[in-house]
Structures are given as C-alpha cells and as structure tokens.
Structure 1
C-alpha cells in the first residue's frame, strides 16, 4: 500500500488559485473537450428530480404505501431523489453548512494543520486519486470519519470555528438515524425483510463519513469541473448542497441505480456542499442479495469487501462508472 502514502505532486489549494484572481485556470485543471460542461448541461437543472415527502411514512396505510412506491420508483428510475420532512432540523442544516464555510475561509496556516494524505484521505484535501499528472478538479474538501467509533477522532476534525465539532456531531447523528429509516424502506421495497440491508451492511457496525466540499469561484467554469463524473463507492449518500437539495444513491445488483454524477463550477460565487456517506462495514464481504438473483438476473459483480473496493477507487481516481463496469462478473 506504499503507493497511497503520499501525493505524487505538490498540493495546490484551489481556493488560493481562486483568491489570486487569475484570469485563466492552470492547465492541470482544464478538462478534455469531451468532458467539459456544455451549454446543454445547464438544462439538467430543469429536470424534475422526484421530490418525496417522508412524512408520508408515518401517515395512514394508504399514504404510507404511496410514499413507499414513490421512493421505489425514484430509486429504480433515477437513483437520486429529493426528500423533505426528513427530520433533520433546517436550522441545524444551515448552521453546519455555514460553519464549514467559515472553516474554508480561515487563514491557510490554520487549515494546513489538517492536510490529508491518500493513505486515509481524512483531513483537508484538494485532490482525489494518486495518478501523477492527472487532470485535477476545481475543488477543495475536508473528509472525516464518523463511524465506526474506533475511527472517530475529534482531534482530526477542525477545532475552529469553535462550534464546528459539536455541530458535526449533531448533524451526523441525525443523518445516521435518517439512513436507518431509509434502509428499512429500501429493504421492504426490494421484497426483503426490513432489517435485511442494515444487517448486510454490518448491523450497528456500519461505516459513516462526511466530506465538506468547497467549489471556489472559477474564471473559466466552461473548461473544468468541481468533481469529475463518478458514482459514489458507498452504500448511500445524503447530499446537502448550497441550494438545499438532498439526494441519495444506493446499490442493489443494479435494481436500484447508482447514479453517475458530476459537479460544475461558476465564475460568480463559491459553493459549499456536504456529502454524508453511509457505508458497509469495511471488512465485510459485499455481494448481491441472493433473494434478488434469478437465472435471468445473475449477480452482476463479484463479492469483495468495501475496503477492497475503496482502495481500488482511490488508486484509479474518478472515472465515471468505468470502475464499476470493470468489476462486473464475467461468468
């Protein structure tokens, strides 16, 4: 694993490039023409991503059934949905997003204390993947572990602003509970016992982590991306972006989609987003549910642990869904 101990090149903070008011972005951030945002890509914001009111889950039988069906349809057709009445305090969401904004605007020497390495990615970072000479994304981030408790270390979380650690704890605790609710819904919708997916993830011994993303202002947003196309490697992602849209992604032998997505940047304002990853136990063997396999629909992927897959992703970097495709079973 020595290849993951250090970054292959000197790290440059994208925020510092943005603050320097460069008229053009450095060449290492310029994407190939086929990967750049296009005018048409702006139309994506007009697409009506399903909006689900989770309050329906505690309504009468008819409303609950309708809500469950809407969630199932969204997972199958989109792999991405917006949720409201999810139990997370709007005030808490605002506070935790703004405390991260304050962190990213601290003096660089205070942030550099938390500089990360590809060994764990935990801390203050500016690139994903360890390929030397890779074209980089226009973003900085802070990645931290929340669960399991053995990997949770407050000393690795920002000490400033002073409310940061407390807010992160409150926010992540509520998200873990929300994920538990959603896991039950997904299991039932797949025709499995309500605890099936949670148990398959390791029961109470799941993994959870948070990545706060900063997308600084960019003088040439048409040439680069905040995050390159990818599908998240974990089990479910809850996203809180600046525009308050919350999304998730799940994996289940491709019955539910794992959506390839990317992030664009703009020249007018920076953006902050928080991605919460709800993952299987790191050393647990992950494979398609046997109850969901048939002669006509065999397992699409060979069994592997989440740690093995995560390492594979870190070595390859963000490459759309090519990592997933390369792991498909040939038998």
Structure 2
C-alpha cells in the first residue's frame, strides 16, 4: 500500500465554509454517477424494512422478518436494539463538536492510505479521481490489540470514553445480529460467527462521517455508490437530515430515519458466506445545500487473515459455491486502493461456471 495520498488533501468542510457558489471540478461526478431524485412517487415512497428486535430475539417466527429484509433489501432499520438512546445522542453530539474544531486541531490526526486511521477527506489513491463531498474520522476498535485510543480525538472532552462505551454496546449488538442471521439462514446460532473467525478474533472499525453543505448538490455525492466490504455495518444516522440512499432495482430509495433506530446493512462478506442468499446492496450518500449532516458507521468484519468463502452447509448440487474464497485483508486492500466502486469487488469473486 502506498504511504501517502497522490494529491494534497483538502478539507471539504473548510472548502464549504469559504462560501463558494460552485463545486470545484474535482468533486463533479460524471453525469451517470450523479444523484438521482426519483419522480415516480409510488417508488420514491418505498423505504427499507423496520425490524423490532424484541419480536425477533428468542422468537423463531421473528427470524422470517430478518431473512426477508436481508434477501430483498440488504438493509433494515432496527428498534429495541439494546443500545442506549442517550448514548447514541451523546455520540452524535461529540462528533459534531469534533468536526467544528479548528482545522489545525483536526489535522493533528491526519491519516494516510497505509491504515486510513485518523482524520481524512478521501477514499482511494487513484490520482485525479473524482472525490466525494465529505470528511471523516476512521479508527480501529477490534481486535483490542490494534485499538489505539491515543490516535482518537482528545477533544471534545470525554469523546474517547464515549467511543469506548459506544463501541462496546454496538459490538454486543453485532454479536447478537450475527447469531440472528445465522439462525435465519437455517444454520446453528454460532455458525456464521465461527466462519467470521470467532467473536474473540473479529474486527470492528468506526467511521464518523461529516457531509458539509454543498452549493450544487446535484453534481456530486457525499459518498459514491458502493457495497460495504465487511460483514455487517451498523449506522447511527443523522435524524434531522436524510442522506443515505439504497439501490432498489433501477431506483435509489432515500432512507427515512425512524427515531432511535439504527440502520443495519449486509456487507460483502456475509453475501459470500451465505452463498448469495443474502445481498450486500449498493448505497450512496447525497448532500444538500442547506444543512451539514453527520453519521457514524461501525463496520463488523471477519478476522483478516482467514479465507472467507461460502459456508459449506449452504452449498448444494443445485446451488454450488458462487464465490472464490479470499482473505479479508486482501479484499479490503483492493477497496482502499480504488475507493468506492459499486459491486465490482464482490462480483470479481464469482466462480466461473
């Protein structure tokens, strides 16, 4: 992996705060990649499923709602999920305070493409690539051996303690969700977790995303279309400003956040493990001219050094293995080099028939 970015890093937030009236060319997407705002109301009014986890955990009949969401959408919102609502609100507030700090303070945590850990404003190292309209802070949470709180922000006060507390609660949720996904596939409760490397070996990373106001939101994206490379992702959305869009056939559905809900989406590794039964779905983030937006994503990933391929119990004569095994560290490296690129990465692992 290269040790430095191919071009000087520009803070998109600082750019927005200058009051520019046009989007610089390096952020203007090609016409076919620009945001789509659906005009067909019957399709535009669709939304991802909402799953009440109190009706799923310990209740086998509730597994069907999870299976349907994973097969049909690859995304769902969860309520009664066990993560403190007060903690969720404090996390949003702390990260908003961080992004409002002076630029020189945030740049103390500037990241590099070697690990991505820290404060940054681009994904991928392709020179002259079209960039996304966002800044972020990326950090490692699991395994604890690679956790480095000294690299986390020290301002605002107690943000490091908040990250620890939030990470602990959300990774517990991830453990329960992986068990739920396993059962919903007809597998033993611990089967998917074993395939991911075991709960003592899995990885987890956190990315706080900041999407500044944009003078021409129709020309760019806060985050380009992609599917998540890991296992599952838990998103803490901005409840005041919509932005996440999920691909549904030929349409992009803008997710309407339910109060106190978290958004769950299936990553490429679970699509591979399920042998294509569950789908990691393309999604993107739109920006707007009137308000900044913040969200947090916790990525729950396989152990990085073991091959991930379809679970043998889901391979049959009629449904042979669809994907070639690959280690997650190899898979993630390709994503980090190229940046977001739709479904191209997971599709490249399809076995030839």
Give the TM-score normalised by the residue count of structure 2: 0.89
Residues 202 and 284 in structure 1, CA contact (< 8 A), matched pair in contact too: yes
Is structure 2 residue 234 aligned with structure 1 residue 238? yes
In the alignment, which of 108, 124, 129 is matched to residue 113 of structure 1? 108
Residues 78 and 264 in structure 2, CA contact (< 8 A), matched pair in contact too: no
Is structure 2 residue 314 aligned with structure 1 residue 292? yes
Q: Which residue of 2 aligns with 1:183?
A: 178
Q: Which residue of 2 aligns with 1:54?
A: 53
Residues 305 and 328 in structure 2, CA contact (< 8 A), matched pair in contact too: yes
C-alpha displacement of 1:254: 1.3
Aligned-partner Cα distance in 2 for 1:41–1:101: 32
Q: What whole-Å deviation, never above 9, does each CA across 1:34-72 have from its counterpart, x for those lacking one?
A: 11113317967621311111111356xxxx233211011
Aligned-partner Cα distance in 2 for 1:90–1:82: 14
Secondary structure at 1:39 match in 2: coil
Mapping 1:193-272, distance limit 5 Å? 193-203=188-198, 204-243=200-239, 244=257, 245-250=261-266, 251=270, 252-272=274-294
C-alpha displacement of 1:299: 1.6
Q: What whole-Å deviation, never above 9, does each CA across 1:192-246 have from its counterpart, x for those lacking one?
A: 1100111111112110010000000000000000000000000000011102552
Secondary structure at 2:138 match in 1: strand
Residues 231 and 320 in structure 1, CA contact (< 8 A), matched pair in contact too: yes
Secondary structure at 2:218 match in 1: coil
How many residue pairs are counted as aligned between the two chains? 325
Residues 240 and 273 in structure 1, CA contact (< 8 A), matched pair in contact too: yes
Residues 272 and 41 (structure 1), Cα distance of their counterparts in 2 relative to 1, 3 Å cut: farther
Aligned-partner Cα distance in 2 for 1:324–1:173: 29
Between 1:316-325 and 1:152-161, the stretch displaced more is 316-325
Secondary structure at 2:75 match in 1: coil
Residues 208 and 276 in structure 1, CA contact (< 8 A), matched pair in contact too: yes
Aligned-partner Cα distance in 1 for 2:340–2:202: 24
C-alpha displacement of 1:280: 0.3
Residues 38 and 44 in structure 2, CA contact (< 8 A), matched pair in contact too: no
Give the TM-score normalised by the residue count of structure 1: 0.95
Q: Which residue of 1 aligns with 2:91?
A: 96
Is structure 2 residue 187 aligned with structure 1 residue 192? yes
Residues 141 and 17 (structure 1), Cα distance of their counterparts in 2 relative to 1, 3 Å cut: same
Unpaired runs of 5+ residues, structure 2, are 240-256
Between 1:198-207 and 1:44-53, the stretch displaced more is 44-53
C-alpha displacement of 1:327: 2.3
Unpaired runs of 5+ residues, structure 1, are none
Residues 52 and 67 in structure 1, CA contact (< 8 A), matched pair in contact too: no
Aligned-partner Cα distance in 2 for 1:58–1:232: 25
Q: CA RMSD in A?
A: 1.4
Is structure 2 residue 312 aligned with structure 1 residue 314? no
Is structure 2 residue 345 aligned with structure 1 residue 323? yes
Aligned-partner Cα distance in 1 for 2:294–2:37: 23
Q: Which residue of 2 aligns with 1:5?
A: 3
C-alpha displacement of 1:328: 1.5
Aligned-partner Cα distance in 2 for 1:279–1:45: 32
Is structure 2 residue 150 aligned with structure 1 residue 158? no
Residues 247 and 214 (structure 1), Cα distance of their counterparts in 2 relative to 1, 3 Å cut: same
Secondary structure at 2:310 match in 1: coil
Aligned-partner Cα distance in 1 for 2:326–2:89: 38
In the alignment, which of 22, 25, 38 is matched to residue 24 of structure 1? 22
Aligned-partner Cα distance in 1 for 2:210–2:177: 27
Mapping 1:75-154, distance limit 5 Å? 75-154=70-149
